[in-house]
Amino acid sequence: EEMRIALVVKALGIGFFEAANKGAQEAAEELGDVEIIYTGPTDTTAEGQIEVINSLIAQRVDAIAISANDTDALVPTLKKAMDRGITVISWDSGVAPEGRQMQLNPSSSPLIGNMIIKLAADHLPDGGDVAVLSATTTSTNQNVWIEEMNKVAGDYPNVNVVATVYGDDLADKSYREAQGLMQTYPDLKAIIAPTSVGIVAAAQAVTDAGKIGEVNVTGLGLPSEMAGHVESGASESFAIWNPIDLGYSATMIAYHLAKGDATAEPGATIPIGRMGEVTLDENSEAAMADPFVYDASNVEEFSSIF
């Protein structure tokens, strides 16, 4: 009988998750006896994900791999899933430890936190003001990354983080917030947007304000969405991990845990196919790989992939 693994994403239709689905399909093909159920709500709400998970529990899927809209709100439902014998892991945006067996981070949070500020600093030899444009005020991973970034901010003494604003992962709101930043801080040198929606909107706002070359937009984004802005110069560089690999790895982990040939406990190692293997830390979390930096030299090549 085929094993059914549900890949639950924050919301359907987001390029990043569509790419992750590609990876999951790739893993399924490689494993042979796996069916992927790619699903999620249409807006990024916890309630929507709970309804989706309830219907997955009802279908008695073998494993759920979820990128969560809310760290805590999903816990009771996911607990119920585990009670009914379903393997639950979280990836990308995590769930609190009680609600999953393990968490696959795309990269380690400290690495990402350091990366986003470094990207800004690299193009600011003389230093200056930078601001952060985040997603919603409730998204787990952005908050953790910004926290990590602030921890290492001391390593970049020239760079002065002046504000953090929230675009709610809405294109128009992010755009307006970016505009607001440029008005409030006329000397702003860079906008760090650790979200794929925000970074595009910020780049657009910078372009429209005629500030290409003055304000550099960086952060985390998808090559396909950012290619134009790198070309125009609105963004010198940005980073992202490969979402295809992430979906692939999450599927592999879910498969092995559900099969029972691996266990999720601190210190355990789980094979992830062509990506090698991951080792769980004391919180049963694992990091997949380093974020990868894209700039004018390589963005074209990747923009057709994801």
Partner 1 sequence: MSLLKSREAILALAMLLLLAVIASRFPGFVAPRNLAGVFTDTSPLILLALGQMVVILTKCIDLSVAANLALCGMIAALMDGMGVPLPLILLAVLALGAALGAANGALVWLLGIPSIVVTLGTMTIYRGTIFLLTGGAWINAHQMSASFKAFPRAVFLGLPVMAWIAIAVVAVMAVVMTRTPLGRAFYAVGGNPHAAVYTGISVGRTQFAAFVIAGALAGLTGYLWVARYAVAYVDIAGGFELDVVAACVIGGIAIAGGAGTVAGCVMGALFLGIIKNALPVVGISPFWQMAISGSAILIAIAFNARKRDPGRIILKQAEHRT
Partner 2 sequence: MSDTTPDRTTRHIPDRLQSPLSRALKSWEMLLLIVAVGIFILNALASPYFLDPWNLSDATFNFTEKAMIAFAMALLIISGEIDLSVGAIIALCSTAIGLAMTAGAQAPVLVLVGLGTGLACGAFNGVLVARFGLPSIVVTIGTMSLFRGISYIVLGDSAFTGYPAGFAWFGQGYVWWVITVELVIFALAALIFWLVLHRSNFGRMVYAIGNNATAARFSGIRVERVKFILFLLTGLMSGIAAICLTSRLGSTRPSIAAGFELEVVTIVVLGGVSILGGSGSIPGVVIAALVMGLVTFGLGLMNVPGIVMSIIMGLLLIGVIALPRLWTMLRRR
Report the partner that residue 70 touches, choosing among partner 1, partner 2, none (CB closer than 5 to 8 A by kind): partner 2
Decide if 285 contacts 105 (C-beta within 8 A).
yes
Q: Which is nearer to partner 2, 22 or 80 (CB)?
A: 80
* Among residues 29, 35, 59, 151, the one that binds partner 2 under rule CB under 8 A: 59
| Site for partner 2 contains 57 (CB under 8 A) | yes
Which is nearer to partner 2, 96 or 171 (by Cβ)?
96
Q: Does 208 bind partner 1 (CB under 8 A)?
A: yes
Using CA atoms, how far apart are residues 218 and 192, in angstroms rounded to an integer?
A: 5
Report the site for partner 2 in 83-102 (rule: CB under 8 A): 84, 96
In sequence order, the 6+-apart residues with CB closer than 8 A to the CB of 186 are none
Dihedral pair phi/psi, residue 196, rounded to 5°: -70, -30
Among 23-31, 37-45, 169-177, 232-240, which window interacts with partner 2 (CB under 8 A)? 37-45
Map tokens 């359907």 to a residue: 12
Number of residues that bind partner 1 (CB under 8 A): 36
**Residue 179 or 284 having the CB closest to partner 1:** 179
User: What mask of x and - would describe binding to partner 1 in positions 82 to 121, judged by CB under 8 A?
Assistant: ----------------------------------------
Options 1, 32, 58, 186; binder of partner 2; rule CB under 8 A: 58
Kindly give the pairing relationship between strand 237-240 and strand 292-295. antiparallel
C-alpha–C-alpha distance, residues 39 and 24, integer Å: 12
Using CB under 8 A as the binding rule, whether residue 228 contacts partner 1 is answered as yes
What is the identity of the amino acid at 98?
A: E
Torsion 295-299-301-306 (CA) sign? positive
CA dist., res. 227 & res. 109, Å (int)? 25
Burial of 75 (0-12, 13-18, 19+ CB in 10 A): middle
Binding range to partner 1, per CB under 8 A, among 76-84, 151-159, 199-207, 259-267 = 199-207
Q: ∠ at Cα 58 (53, 60), nearest 5°?
A: 95
Residue number, 32 or 210, with CB nearest to partner 1: 210
6 binds partner 1 (CB under 8 A): no
Please tell me whether residue 283 binds partner 2 under the rule CB under 8 A.
no
62 binds, among partner 1, partner 2, none (CB under 5 to 8 A by kind): none
Which of 229, 242, 246, 273 is in the footprint of partner 1 by CB under 8 A? 229
User: In this structure, are residues 26 and 244 in contact, taking their beta carbons and an 8 Å threshold?
Assistant: yes
Q: What is the DSSP string of 259-285?
A: HTSS--STT-EEE-GGG-EEE--TTSE
Site of interaction with partner 2 (CB under 8 A): 12, 37, 39-42, 45-48, 50-52, 54-55, 57-60, 70-73, 75-76, 80, 84, 96, 136-138, 143, 166
